[in-house]
Chain A
Amino acid sequence: MQKYNYSAVHERFTKLPEEVQDAILSDELATKFAETMESAQLSKEQRKNCNEQATLVLVGLSKMVEFESFANAELGLNEVVAHKLTTDVKKHVFDPVRQALMDVMAKKKPSAADTKQSDPYKEPAQ
């Protein structure tokens, strides 16, 4: 499991699209994430570790599927709580950022019309 390294995280973060950066730094995400950790009754140390692991996922240095095993193994939560925490974090933290990324990708992806070569000699279809 990837260990948190601020420099590496920050380096990846600065390379993210600005929209994704904004989504990660949004107040709404921070609030929801804090509420999720609060509902899971994590301790101060557990919250620090949970935040760092989620940050790794957000900047792409870790995978989302590893978060549940992290919650189970590293945070010492039972399976039920770990699963609920993972589900909530996915819903309130990962999914909004993922959606922001998808939006950026959708904007950047050229459409079929853009890529289609026009034939100046072809007569238009009647």
Chain B
Amino acid sequence: MTYTRSIFRTVTTFILVVVMLLGVAGPTLASTSLGSDGLGSMTSHVSRATAELDTLNFDCASQGFSLKALSCAGAAMSYYTMLGSSKLAGVGGILLNIAIQELVVNYGLLVNELSTTTGAVWVTWKLLRDLADIILVFVLVFIGIATIVGANRFGYKQMLFKVIIAALLVNFSITLAKFVIDVGNSLAIATYAELIQLEPAAHGGAGNDACWTSSAIGTVSAGDATTKVCIERGIAAMFMEKLKINTLFSATGVAGMSGNTVDSSSYDKVLWVGFFGTIFFLILGFVLAAGGVLLIGRAIILLMLIIFSPIAFLAWVTNISRIGSFWWNKLLGQTFFAPFMFLAWYIAYRVIGSTADLLGGTDMNYATSLEQIGGATAAPDVGLFDIFMVFAIASGFLILGLIVAQRMGAAGANATMRMGRNMARASGGFMYAHTAGRASAFAAERYRRHAAKMQEMDGDNYKRNSAFARAYRGLGVGKGGKVDRYTQAALGAGATHGVLGAKSFSQRHADDIRASGERNAELTTVARQNNLRDAAQVVRDYETLDGNGGFTPKEYEAAKTTVGTASTGDIEAVRQTNRGLMNHESVVNNIGKAQATALSKDEKLRGTEKVAHATSAYKNEQDAIKRVTEIQKALANGDPLPDGMDVGEVEKHIRKMTPTDVKNNKILFAKNPAAMRYVSPDMFSSIVSNKDDTWSPEQIDSFRKERYGDLQEKLGEAPGDEDTQKMVHGMDNKDLEMVGDDTYATAGFWENLDQRQYNHLTRTKRSNFTPTQLEFAANARKAHFANMDPDKLQTSLKSMRGEELAGLDKETLAKGAPGLNPGALNELSKHASSEKMDAVEEEIRTKYEPVQEKLAAHKQAMDEYEQKLRKAKGRATVTGTGERSGDDAVSAVEKTKPQAPQLSREEQQIVKLHKWFNPEGGRPHV
């Protein structure tokens, strides 16, 4: 169906092409030696070998009005139709030969003539080139605007380079297009030369051999003998002779004929010979003409492509339209159609020759074979079907040659374009590989060596310890660090960009980055899992083998950390190949709590494995909780702690438990409420708040009792032992608020509080207490301060409010007075009695006395100094000559100026406090 459409399209365009041909190639054709007898020459070649049937005599009138006369008329009509169709076949052959000779062999000459400064092609090309240049100017303006408004897609980075390339190609477009066409035509001429030489001179084709010689190429001068022969005979005559189509006119082949007269017995034979001969000639003519038409169309299309080449290059390079790609497809397709056609017909000629020789040989005669249909009795040399077969094969091969050439031309165009792109890319890649790619590879190698040096270890220490090396490692540049990975990826990508062909730079870059990342991740994962396996072995060997398997405690701790922080994924991965190791009790018990919890719920694990992980998840915590009771018993009885028990370790495990951990172990906590002593204050606060009803009120009470229950007993009225004091001092605000009324009623509790704790309870949480409790606390504190060391007391008073200060007795106040400041005195004076203020003032005065002596001595020294200075200045006079005298004495006195007394910070504080009480100053003495 497709071929039918193709043939139909060819025929319909034939008329148009002929019309165009007359306009475009007419002058050239007119200048050839074809002349008016060209057509006759070709047809004479067709029938040249058998001229005897050129003119047959049908004496139909002698038959009278009979059936024979009708038969005679039919035979005559058939014969003359065949004669006419043979002329058409000749026209087809002439058309093909002209097209080959003038539009392929001598096409360069034609184009050159049309490309002179006044030639049609040059003038129209120049017009479009100028138009393309103007468009390029507008494109430049557009790029400028796009860059200004930030439209990156059309910015100068993307477009400017293309515009420059386009400007170059547009102005050289005619040369480039002609070059491509010349290449195609050269190939076509070479193939044509091979084909034309197949006709041996012995067949009477004198001069046809010369059609491929240099004299026939580029020669279109009028009357040129070679060109004339090439047109009159050429390829068309070769095919006709190969088919022996002229035997259709062989009189000797028709039985019963003598000379040119057709007798009554031959009417039917001639009728059938004429009928099939007509068909054969029409088919042959059509095939030859189609080849000619296609070549003529090719010539016209190529001319148009040359003319439009500026616009095509502009569109192609800037990619602003698909016209560029279309142009390239057409140019390459049409250019290479000709060589492919000649190649296909070369093959066809060979096949036809072989077939004709095989089936018909030298005895093949169409007339004698076809007359069999008309009732001839004599057996022909070649069978009827052999004749049909030879012709069908020949026609088919010729038509197929045209179709294949068209297809191959189009495919060749696409392939050529692809090849062009790949070659450009490959050449770019090649250049990159030997420049930047090589440099990048070198840099990558240097970086790897450098990075390895920075990571070299000597035991537990890095070998390189310069500031740069430390910075390298400290900045996360170190092995496997993000910066390291990116640097490796970038350098590696740069190094491999030189691979020829294949992907674009950006694609390759993305692939390299991805590959690098994946490789790094793979390496990191493998290294991490290997490390985990090694660590698990260390843990197992250390805990099970004699002599700790030869491992040091430091190595064991490091291995435990590795196992404890390993992810579930890594644990599972290592378990796949080391199940025995990873299921060993020592390893399972050291797996992190979160991971162990997750693994205990992992359906992929075996039942026993899940149980082991569930048990190990809180192993340390559960052991600690269980041990609390034993520890408390031992402490209460004054017994030494059982072996392996460490209060600090127990406290550490319990204190770091999260709310979820506590909830997951709530039964154990309920059984061992003493463990509440060691949970963090925040956790205890969360537990006793019991927002989600995890605990019963009784359990909460028991927890509180356990946590603070014995505090009252430990403290009582006394400050308590050192541990108890430390416990109270270590209480944070929440602990303080939670100790309970029994403890609040303990004087030792209040005495042991530091000022911050006391302030928190009596200020921030004042509303939690009754007046009685506050009074009790104040009294306890009063007694506490009364017995306090003066220095410590002075420090404590600094953070007390006036009201609190006023609550202390006057002796305590006096003792701590030097620790007060004017602000505190202000506050104190608002609440304290006059007796207390007097006591404070008296203490300050006492402390001030030695300071006052220092100040008085300094004042006396200053008075004396000033007196001396005045005297010295008084003696200094101006002499009669206008010179001064006595200045030296003034300078000497000035040098004796007493230095201000050096007062300590405490003395300076005393001066300030004394000033507060000084009624001579501006402060009202209240």
Contact = CB atoms under 8 A, between A and B. Distances in A.
Q: Do A and B come from one complex?
A: yes
Interface of A: 4, 6-7, 9-11, 13-14, 18, 21-22, 24-25, 29-37, 44, 47-48, 51-52, 54-55, 58-59, 93
Contact of B926 (A10, A18, A36, A93): A10
Nearest to B921: A34
B926 A25 contact: yes
B926 A52 contact: no
Contact of B920 (A11, A44, A54): A44
Contacts of B921: 30, 34, 47, 51
Interface in B737-796: none
B924 interface: yes
Contacts of A29: 922-924
Given A34-B921, A51-B925, A52-B925, 5 more contacts: A25-B926, A29-B922, A29-B923, A35-B922, A58-B924
The contact size tier of chain B is 10 to 19
B844 to A, nearest CB: 14
Contact of B922 (A4, A34, A52): A34
A13 B829 contact: yes
26 contacts: A4-B925, A6-B834, A6-B837, A7-B834, A9-B925, A10-B834, A10-B837, A13-B829, A14-B830, A14-B831, A21-B829, A22-B826, A24-B924, A25-B829, A25-B926, A30-B921, A30-B924, A33-B923, A33-B924, A44-B920, A47-B921, A51-B919, A51-B921, A51-B923, A51-B924, A55-B924
Contacts of A44: 920
Contact of A32 (B826, B837, B919, B922): B922
Contacts of A35: 922
A24 B833 CA distance: 17
Contacts of A9: 834, 925-926
A47 B925 CA distance: 12
A99 to B, nearest CB: 16
**Which 7 pairs show the lowest CB-CB distances between chains A and B?**
A34-B922, A33-B922, A10-B834, A30-B922, A30-B923, A55-B924, A13-B926
B822 to A, nearest CB: 8
Please classify the interface of chain B as helix (H, G, I), strand (E, B), loop, or mixed, using the class held by over half of its residues.
loop
Contact of B830 (A4, A6, A21, A55): A21
Nearest to A47: B920
Nearest to B831: A14
Nearest to A21: B830
Contacts of B834: 6-7, 9-11
Contacts of A25: 826, 829, 923-924, 926
Nearest to A55: B924
Contacts of A4: 925
Interface string B898-926: 00000000000000000000011111111
A48 B920 contact: yes
A92 to B, nearest CB: 9
B922 A55 contact: no
A113 to B, nearest CB: 31
A9 B922 CA distance: 16
A54 B838 CA distance: 20
Interface of B: 826, 829-835, 837-838, 919-926
Given A10-B834, A13-B829, A14-B831, A51 B922 contact: yes
Contact of B833 (A10, A21, A22, A54): A10
A66 to B, nearest CB: 16
Nearest to B924: A55
A6 B838 contact: yes
Nearest to A45: B920
Contacts of B837: 6, 10
Contacts of B838: 6
B804 to A, nearest CB: 15
Contacts of B920: 44, 47-48, 51
Contacts of A59: 926
B156 to A, nearest CB: 69
Nearest to B832: A14
A24 B922 CA distance: 11
Nearest to A25: B826
A22 B830 CA distance: 9
Nearest to A4: B925
A53 to B, nearest CB: 10
B859 to A, nearest CB: 13
A14 B919 CA distance: 18
A102 to B, nearest CB: 19
A48 B922 contact: no
A125 to B, nearest CB: 43
Nearest to A28: B922
A20 to B, nearest CB: 10
Chain A CB within 10 A, most for which of B832, B921, B926: B926
A33 B921 CA distance: 8
A18 B834 CA distance: 17
Contacts of B923: 25, 29-30, 33, 51
Nearest to A92: B922
A37 B921 CA distance: 9
B915 to A, nearest CB: 9
Nearest to A46: B920
Contacts of A51: 919-925
B536 to A, nearest CB: 71
A54 B926 CA distance: 10
Chain A CB within 10 A, most for which of B826, B835, B922, B923: B922
A115 B652 CA distance: 63
Chain A CB within 10 A, most for which of B826, B830, B924: B924
B926 A24 contact: yes
Contacts of A24: 924, 926
Contacts of A30: 921-924
A30 B920 CA distance: 11
Contacts of A22: 826
Contacts of B829: 10, 13-14, 21, 25
Contacts of B831: 14
A29 B829 CA distance: 17
A84 to B, nearest CB: 17
Contacts of A6: 834, 837-838, 925
B926 to A, nearest CB: 4
Nearest to A54: B924
B209 to A, nearest CB: 129
B824 to A, nearest CB: 12
Contact of A55 (B832, B833, B835, B925): B925
A21 B825 CA distance: 12
A1 to B, nearest CB: 17
A62 to B, nearest CB: 12
A93 B921 CA distance: 13
A109 B921 CA distance: 35
Contacts of A47: 919-921
Nearest to A97: B924
Chain B CB within 10 A, most for which of A14, A18, A22, A37: A14
Contacts of A93: 924
A13 B828 CA distance: 12
Nearest to B806: A14
Chain B CB within 10 A, most for which of A4, A22, A29, A30: A30
B813 to A, nearest CB: 14
A11 B838 CA distance: 13
A75 to B, nearest CB: 14
A10 to B, nearest CB: 4
A52 B921 CA distance: 10
B461 to A, nearest CB: 61
Contacts of A14: 829-833
Contacts of A21: 826, 829-830, 926
A48 B923 CA distance: 10
A103 to B, nearest CB: 18
A95 to B, nearest CB: 14
B467 to A, nearest CB: 53
B919 A48 contact: yes
Contacts of A52: 919, 925
A64 to B, nearest CB: 14
